[in-house]
């Protein structure tokens, strides 16, 4: 069992769901990112770091803007590696890298994945890489010792669900809605529940719900629908933009998934 699956197992043993915060590397600036990431990781089961990218098709306006801010400060692959290494030295929480295919290809898959594995990343999420579309890229991920996380949405076909179940070695990332990332007031709970049921018919892997987790209420909805964990990103970045404490919001999310357990 890898570190990612162990994190979900530990959460289940404690009678709760896993909580996975997301921040864009280097946002709002590299030093502040590290300080915030360390605090959030300390209250999380896993921590997701987004590599700033100029064309993040799967991200909504909040994360797109965070990427633009980080890119203007020179935070690209090399700097993200440095930040990942610095964070890995400060926390034992498993780290996930979220990137798109182009930055991987620009470095070369073997070099890219090996570098991030050495820096301390435990798994990788590539939203624009459907499972089974590039076996060589998947093999390079495995060769570097990284766990893979594939996304599925309510519109995913049975074939796509089966492919993701076969290829995933970390957890299935269940997208709550068709569209881009972003905090929402309410999740389509029936659709999420149906997607989770279809995934569980194919695999015993843990399933985390993201794209729409904004606070206690939506976290409770995801947990009540049967999620093993929740991912929260845009809402945390909005809190940082507003000068609020993102840790307070993350603790609200944790309370929301606990509400469902109670």
Alpha carbon separation from 26 to 69, 70, 84 (Å, rounded): 8, 5, 10
Reading the block at residue 222, the tokens are: 């995801």
Active-site annotation holder among 6, 14, 45, 59: 59
48 carries an active-site annotation? yes
Active-site annotation holder among 45, 48, 138, 228: 48
Q: What are φ and ψ of residue 231, in 5° steps? A: -115, 130
Count of Cβ atoms closer than 10 Å to residue 244 Cβ: 12
Helix (H, G, I), strand (E, B) or coil at 19: strand
CB 230 within 8 A of CB 19: yes
Answer positive or negative: Cα dihedral of 34, 43, 60, 49.
positive
Q: Give bridge partners of residue 115 from the DSSP assignment.
A: none
Look-up of token digits 């049975």: 158
245 carries an active-site annotation? no
Would you name the residues annotated as active-site residues?
A: 48, 59
């Amino acid at each position: 069992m890898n570190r990612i699956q162990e994190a979900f197992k530990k959460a289940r043993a404690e009678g709760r769901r896993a909580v996975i915060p997301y921040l864009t590397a280097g946002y709002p600036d590299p030093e502040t990112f590290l300080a915030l990431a360390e605090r959030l990781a300390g209250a999380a089961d896993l921590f997701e770091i987004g590599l700033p990218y100029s064309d993040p098709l799967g991200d909504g306006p909040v994360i797109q803007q965070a990427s633009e801010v980080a890119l203007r400060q020179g935070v690209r692959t090399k700097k993200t590696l440095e930040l990942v290494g610095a964070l890995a030295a400060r926390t034992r929480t498993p780290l996930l890298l979220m990137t798109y295919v182009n930055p991987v290809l620009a470095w070369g898959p073997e070099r890219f994945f090996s570098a991030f594995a050495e820096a301390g990343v435990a798994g990788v999420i590539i939203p624009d890489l459907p499972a089974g579309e590039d076996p060589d890229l998947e093999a390079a991920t495995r060769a570097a010792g990284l766990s893979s996380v594939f996304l599925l949405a309510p519109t995913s076909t049975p074939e796509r669900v089966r492919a993701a179940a076969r290829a995933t070695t970390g957890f299935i990332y269940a997208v709550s809605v068709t569209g881009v990332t972003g905090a929402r007031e309410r999740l389509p709970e029936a659709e999420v529940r149906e997607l989770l049921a279809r995934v569980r018919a194919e695999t015993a892997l843990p399933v985390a719900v993201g794209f729409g987790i904004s606070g206690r209420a939506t976290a409770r909805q995801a947990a009540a629908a049967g999620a093993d964990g929740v991912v929260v990103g845009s809402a945390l970045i909005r809190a940082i933009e507003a000068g609020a404490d993102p840790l307070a919001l993350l603790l609200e999310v944790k309370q929301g998934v606990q509400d469902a357990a109670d």
